Structure 1
C-alpha cells in the first residue's frame, strides 16, 4: 500500500466516524490507524541497505515548479518525481539550495539529478538530460483591458518591466528595441507595477506569472498571446550516468503515454491553490503521537512528518481539481478576448488537428470561419487546392510543430500562397507559436501587396542581370574580335624589328616601337576585359591542384624585375626561399593575380623605389602574401574606389601612364573565386601594401566552386555558387561580431529565397521526395537563424565553432549530396522551370 493511498483512506475514515463517536472513540481509532500505518511503513533493513535513495536537488524559489513550504516540498517537479518514484520503486529525496550549488553537486556526482533545468546546447556539454517535461515559456503580462498592439516593438516610450541583468533584459532589448526598460525586483512586485500602470507590461514565464497572479490576488493582469522565448526543461543528471538516464526516460515516457504529465501540468496551470486547514492535521498528529507509547515515539514522529508532507500534497491536488475547471474557463475567456482584439490574423489549432479559434481579423481578411475549416486537414484542402503544393505545406506544418519550440527560439516565418474564401489568391506570411502543452497559435499576415512590390523589384533586378550578362557576352565577343587583328599588327611590327636595322631609318624605328607599345597595351586591356567578362558571366572555370606557392612567387618576380630595371626599381624577396607552402588553388589564376599586383607596384612606384614581397601562413589555414611599394600611395578619398572598374590609381597621369584600370578589379574577383580575399593599406606619398590570402592545401574548411560541384540545374547552381562564396566569407574572413551578424542574416535571407526556388523546381518536376526535402529545408533554415541569433548575443570563439559546424554540415551534406538527386528530374523541363521561377520572390 502506497503512502498517498493509506493517508487518503485514513482521512476518509476519520471524517466518517467523527460524527458518531465520542472523543475517546476517535482517539482510539486514530491510535489504531497510526499503529497500522507504522507497521505498513516499517522499513526492511535488508532492502534499505541495497536501495539507497536517489538525491535530487533544485533551486529555491522556483514556484510553481519547485518550492518549500512549512517543511514540505511542492510543485510540478515534486509531483513528477513522485510519479517516477512510484513507477521505479526507488526512494527519492529532494533538497532545495542555491541554483549554482545544485548544479555543481550533480556535476561532481554528489547528487543524482537537478530540476527544473532548461535544456540548451551549452548545458548539454556538462549534463545529460531526460526527455523534455515542460517548457519555460517567456511572455508578456499586461493589464486585462488592453490589447497587444502590433506596432509595440517600434513604439518609443513603451515601459517594459525587467529583472536585473537576466534573460528578461535580453528579451526586452531583442523584441522591444525602442522601449524604456524599468528594473523591478520580484515577480509579485513587477505584476503589481503592471496593475498600477507603472509599466505597460513585464516579462516572465507564463507559469510563474500566473502563479503569482492567482495566489497573490493580483487582479486585472493577464498573459498576452505572445511567445518571446520558449525553452524546453527537464531533469539533468551527471554526464555519462547512462543507467539512471535510461531509467528516468523509461518512466517519463510511460507517464507521458498515460497522460499523467499533462495532468500534473494542467493541475498547476492557472489554478488558485486553496489549502485545507493545517491546524486540524497538526492536532490529529499531536494527539496520535501523545497516545502512542514511549516505545513507538521516535517512529511515530518520523511518520507523522512524512504523512504531513503527503497530506499537504493531497490537499493541493484536491484543491487543484476543485478549481481547475473554473480557472481554465476564466483563463480561456481572457485568452479569447485578447486574441479577438488583436489586429493580426490568428488561427489557434490543437495538436489533434482541431481548429479551436479564428479571430475576427482572420475572418475579415480571408473569409473563413471555424465552421468552414473545423480541422487542419480541411484547412489544407481548402486553402491549398493544388495537391503537390499541399504536400509541401503539410511537411512544413509538421516540421514546425514537431520541434518543441525550436529549442527555445521563435519559428521561422514562411510565406505561402493561399486560396481565400472568395476564390482569389493571397500571399500570406505564417509564423508558429506554442501555447501551453497542446495547442499552437499561427499568425497569418497578409503580404500580398508587399509580394507584388517585391516581384516587380525582382523582375527589374532580373532584367538588369540579363542586361549585365549581355554586356559581358558582348565584351567577351568583342575582345576575341579585337585580339585577332591586334595579334597580326604586333606580329608584323615584330617582323620589322627583326629586319636588318639598316633597312629602317631612325624615325621608322621609333614608329615601330610606338606600334609595339600601343599594341601590347591594347592587347593587355583586351585580355583583362575578356577575363572580367568571363567572371561576370560565370563562365570562368577553375582547375584545382596542389600548387607550390614558393615556385610561383619566384617565377613572378623573375618576370617582373625587367619592368623595374628601366626606372632603377629594386626587388626584395622575403618569401620564395622560406619554408615550402602548398596551396589548393588554380595555379594559372594565382599567377595572374600576383603578376597584376607586382606590375602595379612597379607602375605606381617612384624612380629608384623598392618592391618588397613577403608572406606567411596564418593560424586560420591561409597563406598571406603582401606586395609593398614605395610609390605615390593612395589618398583617403580614393580608397573606396580602388577595386572599381577603370579606376586609375593616382592623380598624376604620367606616373599612372601604363594602367588599364581593370587589373585590380579582375584580381579581386579571381581571388574571391578561389575562396580568398584581397585588401590593401596605403599612405599618400609613402607607398601602398596590397595583400591577399588563399587557402592552404591542408585547409578543409573552404569550399571552392568548380565545375565538378555543379548538379546540372542552372538556377540551383547559381544559388549554390553564391551560397558557397557567402559561407566562405563567414567561415574564414569575418572576425568583427557586427560584420559576422550582418553576413549571417544576409545568408539566412538568401537561403530562404533559395529554398523557395528549389521547392518550386521540385514541384514543377514532380520530384518524389519533395516532402522530406522540404522538411530538411525547414530544419536547415531554423539552424541558420539560430546561429545568427547566437552570433548576435555572444560572438565568442565557442559560438564561431558552432557556426562553422552547422554551415559545413549544410554545405557538404545537404547541398552537395541531397540536392544532386534533383538534377535527373529536371531534364526536359527547362521552360516550365523558368516560368515557375519567374513568379518566386
Structure 2
C-alpha cells in the first residue's frame, strides 16, 4: 500500500490533488464527509469497488453506508463504539470488523476515522480510511492454529511419554519378581516353577508385542515405513489370518465365520493388512465368551472402497472406552474373558495403518452384547496395460480380455517410455509386455518402473520368443513370476491371465 499523509478533514473537499494521490491506494478506500446546512457533501474514492464491490454512488446512496455491510456478530460492538466516539471530544478512532458482501463473501476491514468538531463538540467533517486487512487476519488465524496444534502436540507427547514409561516399566515388576523366586528358591516344586516360568514368558511376549507395535506405529507416523499397496484377493487373506488364530479360537470353543465373495479384491499392503485383521480377530477372540462365534465379512462399500466388518458377541465396550480405543495417548488394556492380557496399543496401530491407506475405521459396541469394528480400504484399479508393438499379438490379447475380463479397462503402449508415462498416471492391475519393445527391453522397463516408485506393485507377464528363453532368470530376479511364449496360445494366455489376476 502506498503511503500518504492524512490532511485535516476540513481541507479534504477542496484538496483535489490529495484525492488523486490517495485514490491509488490498492487495498484501501476512503470516505470524506463535510456537513453542510442543507445536506452532507460526501466523497468516496474509486478503489471502493475493488474492495467491497460497490461503486462510489452506491456507497453514497446506501442507507447506513458501510455500516450496513458489517457482520452481524461485529455490528453491535462497532455501533456502540461509534456512538461513544460521537458523544466524546476525541478527534480519532479505529475500528476493526468483518464486512459481508456479494453472496456472503467476507473480509476483514480496518477503519481509521479522524474528525473535526465545532465549538460545541459536534462533528462537522470526517475522513475515514478503510483498509482490507483480510490477508493479515488470515495469517494471524493460521499462526494461532499452528500454535494451538504445536501446543497440543507437545502436550500429547508429554502424556505419551508418561504412559510409555509406565507401560514399559510395569511388566518388569512381575518378570523380576518371579525370576528372583526361581533363583533364590531352588527347591520349589516343578509345578510352581513351570507356572512362574509361564508368567515370565507371557509377560516377555506381551512386552515384545508392545515394543513392536510401538515401533510400527512410530515408523508409520514418521513415514519411514513404506507402504507397498498391491491387488490382494480378500478371501485368501482372511482365511490366512483365521488359520493363524485357529488354535486361540479352539481353546475357547469359538467358531470364526467368514462371509466374503471369492471375487473381491483390495488395494493394500499385504503385511500391514494382515496385521489389521489379525489384531481385530485376536481382540474379538480375547473378549468373546466360550462357545460363541465371531464373524468377519467383506463387501463392496461404494464405487471406490471395500468395507470389512469384524463382529463378536462378547463383553463389549463402555461409552468412555469407545472414546479412547483408537488413541495411543489414552490407551488402556482390559483382561479377556479368560484372563488374557494385551498391550492396549493394537487398535492405535490399526487406525494408523488404515488411515495411511486412505481408509476409515469406526465401531459399534454395547456392554455385555459385543462389538463391531468396521473399516474401509480402497478397491484396486481394474486396468490392464499391454506393452506390445506387434499388432496381431495386441489384437489377440484384446479379444481374450474383452470376452473374459469385460470389467477391465485396457490400456496400450507401443514402447517402454509410453508405458512408463501411463503407469505414472494410472497404476494398472496387470501389465503384459514383450521382451523386445521399442526404445528399451522389457527388463529395462521393469527396472525403470521400480526406480520411479517403490509403491508401484503390480504383477507383470512377460512374453518371450523361443530365442529369448534365457532371459527368464533375469526377470525372475526382478520379481517377475509369469511368462508366455510367443506366438501366443489362447488357452495358455487365458489360464495365465486368470491365475495372475486371482
TM-score of the superposed pair, with normalisation by structure 2 = 0.46
Q: Specify which structure has the higher proportion of strand.
A: 2
TM-score of the superposed pair, with normalisation by structure 1 = 0.29
